[in-house]
Amino acid sequence: MPEGKLTLITGRSTRQGAGISTGKELEEYQTATTVILLSPIDMERFGLHDKDAVRLKTRFGSATVTCRSGDLPAGIAFLAFGPAANQLVGGDTQLSGMPDTKGFEIEVEPIPA
Amino acid sequence: MIRIINGEVYDPINGINGEVRDIFVDDRSIAAAGAGGTTIDAAGMVVMPGGIDMHCHIAGPKVNIARKMRPEDHRNDVLPRTQFTRSGVGGSIPSTFTTGYRYAAMGYTTAFDAAVPPLAARHAHEELNDTPVVDKGFYTLMGNNEFIMQHIASGEKEIVRNFAAWLLNATKAYSIKLVNPGGVELWKSLGNAHTLDDEVTGFKVTPRQIIQSLADASIELNLPHRVHIHCNNLGIAGNWETTLETMKALEDRQGHLTHIQFHSYGGTPGGLFHSKVVELADYVNSHPNLSVDVGQVMFGDTTSMTGDGPLGYLLYQVTGRKWVNVDVENEEGCGIVPIEYKDKSHVHATQWAIGLEWFLLVKDPWRIALTTDHPNGASFANYPRIIRLLMDRGYRKESMQHVNPKALADTTLPDLDREYSLYEIAIITRAAPARLLGLAKKGHLGVGADADITIYDKNDNKEKMFSVPRYVIKDGQILVEDGHLREDVSGRTFYVTPEYDLEVEKEIRKYFDAYYTVEFENYPVQLEHYLPRREAVMCRDIK
Amino acid sequence: MVFEHAVCAFCGCVCDDIAVTVEDGRITQAKNACVLGKAWFLSHGQPSDLPAARINGHAVSLEAGIDYAASLLSQAHYPIIYGLSSTSCEAQRQAIALSETIGGNLDCCTSVCHGPSGMAVQGVGEPTCTLGEVKNRADLLIYWGSNPAESHPRHMTRYAVTPKGMFIPNGRKDRTVVLIDVRPTPSSRAADILITPKPGKDFELLWALRGLILGNKIEEASLAETGVTLEQLTDLAIRMKKSHFGIIFIGQGLTQSRGKHLNTTAAFMLVRDLNRTNKFALMPMRGHGNVTGIDNVLAWQTGFPFGVNFSKGYPRFNPGEFTIVDVLSRDEADLIMSVASDPIASLPATARKRAAEVPMIAIDTHESETTRRAQVAFIAATAGIGAEGTVYRMDNVPLHMDKILDLPFPSDEELLSRLHTRVKELKS
Amino acid sequence: MTTLHLKFRSNFPLDTESITPDQFKDKPVSEIARLPALLGNQAGALGDFFTIMDDSSPVITLEGDLGRVKHIGAGMTEGKIVIHGNAGMHLGAGMRGGEITVHGDTGDWAGAEMTGGKIHITGNAGHGLGGAYRGSRHGMNRGLILVEGNAGNETGALMRRGLIVVLGNVADFAGAFMLAGTILVFGKLGARTGAGMKYGTIVTFHQPELLATFHYDCVYRPGFLSLLFKSLRSQGLPVEAGWAAGSFRRYSGDFNTLGKGEVLVYAQDER
């Protein structure tokens, strides 16, 4: 995995899913969709601690989220579906109608507190 | 009020054979006389009741998965919307709107889907509600129902009958359908039933017991249409013996054997077919309790869809094309494969010839109905051509020139000179299906009958004549002129409500709690919601 | 008042055993429902003071809202109606009719959910079954790129893993559960076997597994990139061949990662091949409540399951051409109507950019980024709570949702049919 | 014959299945201008969208940014179309004969399901080049497609006959499920090359990452390639002298399907 790069998986989570009903404006949903999970190894690699802010970048856009250490293989990060994740996804669906929302490369930039 | 005057009328149920006489329509029904309103001068035209397709696949999960699977079947046959009709696509599996419009434009006003899994009855009703113009209904699958098999095994005839009645009420279906009885259950572990006496693993019953028990149930419940049977071993060389066994197993019970063409093959499994129609037709001719529809094969690309899961897999192995299989909990299954019938293929040519042999060898037209098992043998759009093949010996001989000669030589088709009359055509496409279905107001033009009428310009080319009716009247409304739909209307759904002992519901509820994934309470189809336009057909003793 | 056997239309499981309690005009309990189902019933089963119709954020009469929306719809040259996953088939019918009348595009959440699974069916077909077959027979269950514990919380407990069935007398004990995912998830706990491939290698893995099933030589080295060993894969292949009834539940891990419709195609072909020797099925883990319903209604009315275009007056289908992300990312659409969905919050930035530039009409059951952004916003009664209708489960089993509660809003079905009527008046 | 200049730029797709030599044949400009075209959902005529000029040239010339103009030359059987600028989706889809030259890029499905003729694209092609529409049994079935730039996913998918030459790179699933035919790629190939191929040949100059169901056979000098290279060279393509006589590593596959296809990799690709 090149310097500063990670493979991002976006997907469903229970709190994100419940938030669809209870209200996306509520803090629970906001949090559920703006916390990126990193492997402990990557947390250390980027010198990050839980709740640190990071900027995620792809060639399509960028999003600022907070990070948390999670049970993930090194090099892989997870972010729940939501406005933040969508900022990073492109529009080329390769004849499928489906954008690349899982397993794409992102740049991770720690934001100094 | 509509007066149809000077027309040559073919109304076999009332014994009218081409007499010139006037037909009166009052509101939705045929009347004895009347004045005023519209007059159609049908001089030089042929007047018949609206056509009835008693076995087709036009609604429900199997048909719809086939639609989803085959965009290539649709994109080159499209129907733009008009000011009063909806858009859609055709091909071998037309969209629902197109299905209704095309039946109507062809002079057909009633159609029955032949194989709906009970669990998906709600889905079938939703599609039928989106199938315009024609009146409709469906038969529901019971030949591999695990509850039924368990209670046949334990000898509880009452429970089987009560359950069948409950299921017909719950699904708002029209009749009991058997598809490869026992075989589809066996397919759930990759097996199949090869004879009437194979035991269905885990259920201790045989196809023979299933056929007899449900034939009895359909009689005891006085269903207007008796048990509708798709025999075991469909499409397999040598299957004619199974078919004959099935006929014998019915003894003197009334029963309808469907798409009989697919069940009339000599030869040994895996090998080439040859025709066994002579033997089977003899049996049918001498047994008035039996009726058949043909399931004629016509050459070209179509889609095979069947509740017969193992058959679907067989066709996939033969064609190597895309294959859908769906097993339905506790009830049934289905298989879907695109298929192209080729006139040069020995097997396909034999199937084509066998279908025609059936039409020409069954003596009593009242016990044989014209079908292609749409879309399995071909699309219903082929009916006019089939009619020409039956009415026009010359055309039939000419058509034989193009098909595999070796195959033909193994059939009696080249020796058959019979030509159908318009009267006989009116029987196999109208009167007979109406009688076999027990629809008293369909298939004839007597006083009180539903005013479903098709008027054709006479033409020596019978395919042309039957392709584009001059007028089609449905429920007393002139809907089609010169093949063009003038109005979009909705037909109604036929269903039956046989009585049963409510006690049986306790058993069924237990069964649901143990083996189903839907709640017993949520299973029955809501009548008001899913059959907004409907007609319950009474179950009364027709002897 | 308690409604037994209520139908939960939040996710594709469509559980129909929910006991819903209604007390003074609100839902206070949803017994048997999972965390997602409870959230759905309780939050939609509340009185709301939102205006039924708004134009540019200002409350207006329903008539005024319908008039304005209809005028926008009737003038659009390349409109797209999108969503329709969380509503009834009756409403979906109306949306299709409207789309046909305005010569627009109609796409549903399918295209960003399991559209690629639908495309696989169009390529190679689909060996599948209803969930009861799984309950009664499945002794090997493989979840591939799916996290049911979070996306379909009762899938394992009500339908697939824990229940006892006709030929599975001991329930869980009689089943082996395999989970294949690029990351550990809350579902991992439920699995007997975990396989963790590298992201974007599902196709390679499925293809190698197919090779093993077909008896082809697969070299260890050729798997290096997948993060899975030949031993793991061989073990899985052997288990598949030994199973009496196996099923693969495929999730968005396949449909949304590199390969998409060809990942799902590989999975379908694998299962097809297995049927030479073993009873095996496959089922996509369809997401939102009635997303399976819109596929079905579209298929029977137009012949195509999603991404349908009516510009020519008849239905055309071509994923990548008429699908929402493409139509918006290419800046083609000049109007968006969202029904029972929240595209503004759920679509990629490239698509949302266009959404911000063109007029938008939104129909939803609650306030969302989309309703807030829309020129015309309607609040509708939730199908299955404030309105009756039909819903299809992920396995195409149709169920009827009763109306549980009076909500102060019209149903999607009513709104759409009134819109359509008005559009027809304006067009004629 | 005729020159069409796009009058204005619109975001709406302009669907013009009528721009083919077959349709224009023996028609005066006035009639050509009345041929149907569809902007978004608005039915119109070619004349509404193009300035149409008659000239002595035997070809149809299109000018302007036609990146949103769909189905140019679709189904054509003869004649020549030259496009100065980009062309939209379905360019030459299902064409049976004739020739299309695009001085620019094309959208997806260029040459999809074509059964004859030639398409020359100087820029990049999109996805599904010479490929198949959903549900179809084959893609390109005879004919030649030449792309000087790059091509996208599913290039030559379900291809049955014919030749696709791409000077640049090709993305994932090149020749996926191809039944026969040849795909020649000068640049790099993406992942899953030849997945499910039955017969057919994919030639490349850079070692691609191949699926586990492709097996290495040998290094050899395929005779037919030297002929192919000669003819390409004669068409002015940058074919290096060494190639015709060069050796290639042969990988056969896809063994999940039949294993009679081949991927040929130039043996001296360490340049």
Q: What is the pLDDT of residues B20-58, one digit of tens each?
A: 999 999 999 999 998 888 999 999 999 999 999 999 999
- Residue D60, in any domain of the structure: no
CB B454 within 8 A of CB B425: no
Range of the domain at C182: 116-284
- Residue D101, in any domain of the structure: yes
Residues 352-371, chain C, touching A (beta carbon < 8 A): 352, 366-369
Nearest CA among C325, C370, C349 for reference residue A87: C349
- Residue D99, in any domain of the structure: yes
* Whole-number CA gyration radius for chain B: 22
> Checking phi first, is residue D167 left (phi over 0); if not, alpha (psi -120 to 50) or beta?
alpha
Residues 63-92, chain B, touching D (beta carbon < 8 A): 69-73, 75
Could you tell me which chains touch chain B, where touching means 3 or more CB pairs under 8 A? C, D
d(CA C46, CA D126): 50
Single-letter residue type at C194: L
Q: Are residues C303 and C165 in the same domain?
A: no
Higher pLDDT, B466 or A21: B466
d(CA B408, CA B389): 15
Single-letter residue type at B229: I
DSSP state of B363: S
User: CB of C357 within 8 Å of any CB in chain D?
Assistant: no
State the smallest CA–CA distance between residue D245 and chain A in angstroms.
37
pLDDT > 50? residue D269: no
- Kindly determine whether residue C310 and residue B87, on different chains, have CB atoms separated by under 8 Å: yes
Nearest CA among B284, B224, B188, B217 for reference residue B515: B188
Q: What is the mean pLDDT of chain C?
A: 96
- Kindly determine whether residue D133 and residue B73, on different chains, have CB atoms separated by under 8 Å: no
**Residues paired with D84 in a beta bridge:** D63, D103
Q: How many CA atoms lie within 13 A of B364 on its CB side?
A: 16
Provide the CATH number for the domain around residue D243: 2.160.20.60
- Kindly determine whether residue D195 and residue C78, on different chains, have CB atoms separated by under 8 Å: no
- pLDDT score, position D254: 97
Nearest CA among B291, B258, B168 for reference residue B220: B168
Q: Are residues D23 and D139 in the same domain?
A: no
Residues of D in contact with C199 (CB under 8 A): none
Size (chain C), residues:
428
Provide the CATH number for the domain around residue C204: 3.40.228.10
Q: What is the pLDDT of residues C41-53, one digit of tens each?
A: 999 988 888 999 9
- Residue C41, in any domain of the structure: no
- Kindly determine whether residue A97 and residue C347, on different chains, have CB atoms separated by under 8 Å: no
For A42, the 3-state DSSP assignment is: helix
Find the Cα–Cα–Cα–Cα dihedral B433, B437, B443, B444, rounded to 10°.
130
pLDDT > 80? residue D112: yes
Interface predicted TM-score of the whole assembly (ipTM), two decimals: 0.96
- pLDDT score, position D253: 92
- Kindly determine whether residue C307 and residue A87, on different chains, have CB atoms separated by under 8 Å: no
Range of the domain at A90: 4-110
Looking at residues D242-249, what average pLDDT do you find? 88
d(CA C218, CA C234): 10
Looking at residues B329-338, what average pLDDT do you find? 97
Q: Provide the H-helix boundaries in B410-461.
A: 422-426, 432-437
State the smallest CA–CA distance between residue B428 and chain C in angstroms.
29
Report the residue of C46, C203, C252 to disrupt the A interface, i.e. the one with the largest count of A CBs within 10 Å: C252
**Residues paired with B338 in a beta bridge:** B303
CB D228 within 8 A of CB D237: no
Q: Are residues C100 and C132 in the same domain?
A: no
For D66, the 3-state DSSP assignment is: strand
d(CA C363, CA C376): 9
- pLDDT score, position B540: 81
- Residue C6, in any domain of the structure: no
State the smallest CA–CA distance between residue C208 and chain D in angstroms.
6
Residues of C in contact with B127 (CB under 8 A): 300
Q: Are residues D179 and D239 in the same domain?
A: yes
Tokens found for residue B199: 């035991």
Single-letter residue type at B377: G
CB D151 within 8 A of CB A94: no
The two beta strands, C308-309 and C193-195, are: unpaired
Tokens found for residue B114: 């032949």
Q: What is the pLDDT of residues C159-184, one digit of tens each?
A: 999 999 999 999 999 999 999 999 99
Q: What is the pLDDT of residues C317-344, one digit of tens each?
A: 999 999 999 999 999 999 999 999 999 8
- pLDDT score, position D270: 42
pLDDT > 80? residue C263: yes
Report the residue of C280, C298, C397, C399 to disrupt the B interface, i.e. the one with the largest count of B CBs within 10 Å: C397
For C139, the 3-state DSSP assignment is: coil
d(CA C111, CA A97): 6
Provide the CATH number for the domain around residue C76: 3.40.50.740
Q: Provide the H-helix boundaries in chain D.
A: 21-24, 29-32, 46-49, 223-234, 241-245
Q: Are residues C105 and C219 in the same domain?
A: no
Single-letter residue type at D121: I
- pLDDT score, position A2: 57
Looking at residues C23-30, what average pLDDT do you find? 94
pLDDT > 80? residue A113: no
User: CB of D153 within 8 Å of any CB in chain A?
Assistant: yes
Cα–Cα distances in Å, from B258 out to B115, B213, B262, B293?
11, 18, 9, 5
Residues 369-398, chain C, touching A (beta carbon < 8 A): 369
φ/ψ of residue B89, rounded to 5:
-130, 160
Cα–Cα distances in Å, from A39 out to A3, A50, B62, D168?
15, 11, 46, 38
Q: Are residues C304 and C328 in the same domain?
A: yes
- Kindly determine whether residue C102 and residue D41, on different chains, have CB atoms separated by under 8 Å: yes
Report the residue of A28, A87, A98, A100 to disrupt the C interface, i.e. the one with the largest count of C CBs within 10 Å: A98
Buried b (16+ CB within 10 A) or exposed e, A40-62: eebbebbebeeebebebbbebbb
pLDDT > 80? residue B524: yes
Nearest CA among D204, D218, D201, D174 for reference residue D260: D201
* DSSP one-letter string for A60-113: S-EEEEEEEE-S--TTEEEEESSHHHHTT--S--TTTT----EEEEEEEEE---
Report the residue of B192, B329, B331, B510 to disrupt the C interface, i.e. the one with the largest count of C CBs within 10 Å: B329
> Checking phi first, is residue C132 left (phi over 0); if not, alpha (psi -120 to 50) or beta?
alpha
Could you tell me which chains touch chain A, where touching means 3 or more CB pairs under 8 A? C, D
Q: Are residues C107 and C127 in the same domain?
A: no
Nearest CA among B70, B132, B163 for reference residue B477: B132
CB C119 within 8 A of CB D133: no
Tokens found for residue D146: 């030449």
Range of the domain at D14: 1-55
CB D86 within 8 A of CB D123: yes
The continuous run of DSSP H or E covering B103 comes out as: helix B96-105
State the smallest CA–CA distance between residue D45 and chain B in angstroms.
19
Q: Are residues D108 and D195 in the same domain?
A: yes
| Among C221, C253, C284, residue at a domain's last position | C284
Angle between helices B61-69 and C115-124 (to 10 degrees): 90
Identify which of C125, C281, C303 has the shortest CB distance to residue B74.
C303
| Among D25, D55, D85, residue at a domain's last position | D55
pLDDT > 90? residue C202: yes
d(CA B270, CA A98): 44
Q: Which residues of D touch C (CB under 8 A)?
A: 11-13, 15, 38-42, 68, 89, 108, 127-128, 133-135, 172-173, 176, 191-192, 195-196, 209-213, 215, 255-256
Q: What is the pTM of this model?
A: 0.97
- Kindly determine whether residue A100 and residue C256, on different chains, have CB atoms separated by under 8 Å: yes
d(CA D87, CA C139): 53
**Total domains present in chain A:** 1
> Do at least 3 CB pairs under 8 Å connect B with D?
yes
Q: Provide the H-helix boundaries in C173-332.
A: 202-213, 230-242, 252-255, 261-274, 291-302, 324-329
State the smallest CA–CA distance between residue A18 and chain D in angstroms.
36
Report the residue of C216, C218, C310 to disrupt the D interface, i.e. the one with the largest count of D CBs within 10 Å: C216
| Among C262, C284, C306, residue at a domain's last position | C284
- Residue D87, in any domain of the structure: yes
The structure tokens 């099923």 sit at C247
State the smallest CA–CA distance between residue D153 and chain A in angstroms.
6
Find the Cα–Cα–Cα–Cα dihedral C99, C101, C103, C106, rounded to 10°.
10
Looking at residues D191-214, what average pLDDT do you find? 97
The two beta strands, C79-83 and C335-339, are: parallel
Provide the CATH number for the domain around residue A13: 2.40.40.20
Residues of C in contact with A24 (CB under 8 A): 342, 345, 368-369
Q: What is the pLDDT of residues B82-120, one digit of tens each?
A: 988 999 999 999 999 999 999 999 999 999 999 999 999
**Residue in chain C lying closest to D16 (CA):** C312
d(CA C129, CA B530): 24
Looking at residues C406-416, what average pLDDT do you find? 96
d(CA B40, CA B1): 11
Percentage of chain B lying above the pLDDT 70 cut: 99
Instruction: With cut-offs at 50, 70 and 90, classify the pLDDT of residue B279.
Output: very high
- Residue C200, in any domain of the structure: yes
Q: Is A27 exposed, middle or buried (0-12, 13-18, 19+ CB in 10 A)?
A: exposed
- Kindly determine whether residue D137 and residue B72, on different chains, have CB atoms separated by under 8 Å: yes
Q: Are residues C185 and C234 in the same domain?
A: yes
* Residue contacts between C and D (CB atoms, under 8 Å): 96
User: CB of D36 within 8 Å of any CB in chain B?
Assistant: no
Q: What is the pLDDT of residues C55-103, one digit of tens each?
A: 999 999 999 999 999 999 999 999 999 999 999 999 999 999 999 999 9
pLDDT > 70? residue B262: yes
Q: What is the pLDDT of residues B142-193, one digit of tens each?
A: 999 999 999 999 999 999 999 999 999 999 999 999 999 999 999 999 999 9
Q: What is the pLDDT of residues B54-84, one digit of tens each?
A: 999 999 999 999 999 999 999 999 999 998 8
Q: Which residues of A touch D (CB under 8 A)?
A: 94-95
Buried b (16+ CB within 10 A) or exposed e, D160-178: bbbbbbbbbbbbbbbbbbb
CB C125 within 8 A of CB C282: no
- Residue D62, in any domain of the structure: no
- Residue C14, in any domain of the structure: no
- pLDDT score, position D46: 96
- Kindly determine whether residue B64 and residue C275, on different chains, have CB atoms separated by under 8 Å: no
Identify which of C199, C320, C346 has the shortest CB distance to residue A86.
C346
Instruction: With cut-offs at 50, 70 and 90, classify the pLDDT of residue D271.
Output: very low
Residues of A in contact with D153 (CB under 8 A): 94-95
DSSP state of D228: H
Q: Are residues D37 and D83 in the same domain?
A: no
- Kindly determine whether residue A102 and residue C186, on different chains, have CB atoms separated by under 8 Å: no
- pLDDT score, position A24: 80
* DSSP one-letter string for D166-196: ESS-B-SSTTTT--S-EEEESS-B-SSTTTT
| Among C250, C284, C318, residue at a domain's last position | C284
Q: What is the pLDDT of residues C268-288, one digit of tens each?
A: 999 999 999 999 999 999 988
Percentage of chain C lying above the pLDDT 70 cut: 100
- Kindly determine whether residue C279 and residue B190, on different chains, have CB atoms separated by under 8 Å: yes
Q: Are residues C266 and C299 in the same domain?
A: no
Q: What is the pLDDT of residues A47-106, one digit of tens each?
A: 999 999 999 999 999 999 999 999 999 999 999 998 899 999 999 999 999 999 999 999
Residues 117-136, chain D, touching B (beta carbon < 8 A): 133-136
d(CA B48, CA B425): 10
- pLDDT score, position B542: 57
**Total domains present in chain C:** 2
- pLDDT score, position C324: 97
- Residue D64, in any domain of the structure: no
- Residue C17, in any domain of the structure: no
Domain B47-493 bears CATH identifier 3.40.50.620 = no
Q: Could you tell me the end-to-end alpha-carbon distance of chain A, in angstroms, rounded to an integer?
A: 26
Cα–Cα distances in Å, from D132 out to B71, C86, C123, D169?
12, 33, 10, 20
Could you tell me which chains touch chain D, where touching means 3 or more CB pairs under 8 A? A, B, C
- Kindly determine whether residue A95 and residue D153, on different chains, have CB atoms separated by under 8 Å: yes
Looking at residues B494-521, what average pLDDT do you find? 97
Q: What is the pLDDT of residues B384-416, one digit of tens each?
A: 999 999 999 999 999 999 999 999 999 999 999
**Residue in chain B lying closest to D133 (CA):** B72
Q: Are residues D167 and D47 in the same domain?
A: no
